């Protein structure tokens, strides 16, 4: 992992921690066929971050696999 990538990763984690401190209030999430429920905003931010990272990771895996097959 390059130095710039590590710096960006550390910066992202620090920003996430700052957002965690600022977003501890509950947010109502409405789900179809239920009354909805309350969850902390930081949990939603963390889940969306990891989902986005996971999608990008699998897209990159697919690209490497196609390149290797050709």
The 10s digit of each residue's pLDDT in 17-28 is 887 777 778 888
Phi/psi for 39 (5° steps) reads: -140, 150
Q: Which helix (H) or strand (E) holds 14?
A: helix 3-22
Phi/psi for 40 (5° steps) reads: -70, 140
d(CA 44, CA 38): 11
pLDDT at residue number 12: 92
Sign, CA torsion 40/45/49/55: positive
Whether the pTM exceeds 0.85: the reply is: no
Domain ranges, ordered by start, for the chain: 3-69
Which residue, chain included where needed, has tokens 């910066």? Answer: 11
pLDDT at residue number 20: 74
The 10s digit of each residue's pLDDT in 3-57 is 899 999 999 999 978 877 777 788 888 888 888 888 888 788 788 989 999 999 9
The 10s digit of each residue's pLDDT in 55-67 is 999 999 988 888 8
């Amino acid at each position: 992992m390059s130095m710039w990538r590590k710096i960006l990763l550390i910066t992202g984690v620090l920003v996430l921690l700052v957002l965690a401190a600022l977003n501890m209030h509950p947010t109502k999430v409405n789900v179809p066929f239920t009354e909805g429920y309350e969850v902390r905003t930081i949990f939603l931010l963390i889940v969306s971050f990891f989902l986005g990272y996971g999608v990008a990771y699998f897209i990159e895996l697919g690209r490497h696999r196609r390149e290797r097959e050709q």
